[in-house]
């Protein structure tokens, strides 16, 4: 679509944990801004990725995975953030892992969508590059039979296959509007928060299952010195003293590896050759129940 009119709008990417939402966002933007991990619930806040094509600016919102949250404030706040993004968006994309299909978590989300009836709703089956067509076809048919979705796509977010089709389909649903961001912007995420996300991703990947969820990262300072060098100080937050040796590692080996990998990722993302990253491990009991900390990382604390 190219009718000469300028358009700009918000697109919420929702789905169950590990459906590939962050991977799709990074693919659309053309660079990594959302952290990716095989662990469930890696995404904790609504991350915006900005895509400007011809006369249309899409602001995609990568949301935390939707599931039945437990009693923790963090869990409830993350799910609330995903629902809020959907309610506020001009279009919504439901991501589904094609291999998992219409399992219980996905059907829970669809039940909510059937009651909320969001406008301009698309269903995206992801990870289809390794899936036989004879297994995908019944899913596509079932999706059409629901009469809930305006569009149904089959893509590989990792390889970028079919991703451009999503943009073309949802472009008409973007409101007529001047651009909301500069054409060169790829995210409106504060750099200190983005830096914390990168370090958290590296920690998740390095620690495997040892600390699956009781870990957060806060950026204490983010400053450019007179010589142009970027210096970042961060705390890796844990809830128990017993977790500290796991992160520090023998002779400080683990935290050194986390820091080295995070620094390289930050240098690449920020295009900063001269960057120093300093990490400390700090015990902050019950950080996942702290309303103040939820606000610091960009979450609105759940009131439910």
At residue 72's C-alpha, the angle toward residues 68 and 77, to 5°, is 70
The dihedral sign for the CA sequence 144, 149, 153, 154 = negative
> Domain boundaries in the chain?
7-173, 191-296
Residue 205's SS3 state is helix
pTM for this model (two decimals):
0.86
CATH class of the domain comprising 7-173 = alpha beta
Which residues, 6+ apart, have CB-to-CB distance to 148 below 8 Å?
Answer: 110, 113, 114, 121, 123
Strand ranges for the chain from DSSP E: 7-15, 47-53, 56-62, 91-97, 121-126, 151-154, 215-224, 230-238, 275-283
Query: Is residue 38 scored above 60 in pLDDT?
Result: no
Topology of domain 191-296 in CATH is GMP Synthetase; Chain A, domain 3 (3.30.300)
Residue 206's SS3 state is helix
Q: What is the pLDDT of residue 282?
A: 93
Query: Is residue 125 scored above 60 in pLDDT?
Result: yes
Instruction: Classify burial at 170, counting beta carbons within 10 Å of its beta carbon; exposed 0-12, middle 13-18, buried 19 or more.
Output: buried
Range with the poorest average pLDDT among 75-79, 122-126, 157-161: 75-79
HSE-up (13 A, CA, CB side) for residue 114: 9
């Amino acid at each position: 679509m190219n009718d000469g009119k300028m358009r700009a709008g918000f697109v919420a990417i929702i789905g169950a944990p590990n459906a590939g939402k962050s991977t799709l966002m990074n693919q659309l933007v053309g660079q990594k801004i959302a952290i990716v991990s095989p662990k469930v619930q890696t995404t904790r806040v609504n991350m915006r990725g900005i895509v400007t094509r011809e006369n249309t600016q899409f602001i995609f919102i990568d949301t935390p995975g939707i599931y039945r949250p437990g009693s923790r404030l963090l869990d409830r706040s993350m799910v609330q953030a995903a629902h809020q993004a959907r309610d506020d968006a001009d279009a919504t994309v439901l991501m589904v892992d094609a291999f998992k299909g219409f399992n219980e978590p996905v059907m829970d989300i669809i039940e909510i969508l059937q009651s909320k009836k969001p406008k301009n709703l698309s269903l995206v089956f992801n990870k289809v590059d390794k899936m036989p067509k004879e297994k995908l076809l019944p899913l596509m048919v079932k999706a059409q039979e629901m009469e809930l979705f305006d569009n149904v796509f089959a893509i590989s977010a990792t390889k970028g296959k079919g991703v451009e089709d999503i943009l073309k389909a949802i472009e008409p649903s973007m409101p007529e509007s001047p651009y909301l961001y500069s054409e060169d912007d790829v995210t409106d995420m504060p750099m200190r928060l983005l830096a914390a996300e990168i370090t958290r991703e590296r920690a998740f990947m390095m620690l495997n299952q040892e600390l699956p969820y009781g870990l957060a990262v806060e950026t204490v300072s983010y400053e450019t010195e007179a010589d142009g060098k970027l210096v970042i100080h961060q705390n890796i937050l844990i809830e128990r003293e017993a977790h500290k040796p796991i992160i520090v590692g023998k002779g400080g080996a683990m935290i050194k590896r986390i820091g080295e990998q995070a620094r390289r990722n930050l240098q690449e993302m920020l295009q900063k050759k001269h960057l120093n990253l300093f990490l400390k491990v700090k015990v902050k009991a019950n950080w996942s129940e702290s309303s103040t900390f939820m606000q610091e990382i960009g979450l609105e604390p759940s009131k439910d």
